[in-house]
Amino acid sequence: MLKLSTRAKFIKNFISIVILVTILIYIFLSLILYTSVVHANDQFTMVFNNVRVIDGDTVAVNMKNLPAPLNKVSIRALGVDTPELRGKCSKEKELAEKAKLFTTKLVKNKTIKVVDY
């Protein structure tokens, strides 16, 4: 096996960093260019129409024009904590189903606006 020289290691690391930065720039630009973005009161806002409810405090959105698996994003509601669907007892699971149903009714056929905190 050949040992890499210091220069070869530097070049390898440099190329890795350039690739990583390129991917990050691509993701950032995709977020800005391919979703509805509004700047209001110096806040970064994204608007989504296709929302899937995961549970009472979490929804999933599909970021168009991003490659899989980067296009699937989960968003949690700030300051909201609902029981988990995979809870330990039947009462927790029942409450989790109710919370999910409530959230589903809340977001069904609506445009969701996500604002940074």
Residue 101: what pLDDT?
94
pLDDT at 92: 92
CA 11 to the chain's CA centroid? 33
The pLDDT assigned to 112 comes to 79
Q: What is the pLDDT of residue 32?
A: 61
In angstroms, the CA 34 to CA 111 distance is 16
Distance CA 66, CA 83 (A): 31
Cα 36 to Cα 48: distance, rounded to the nearest angstrom: 8
* Domain 7-115 annotated CATH 2.40.50: yes
* Predicted local confidence at residue 3, as pLDDT: 65
Residue numbers of the chain with a pLDDT score lower than 70: 1-4, 30-45, 116-117
Instruction: State the pLDDT at residue 117.
Output: 62
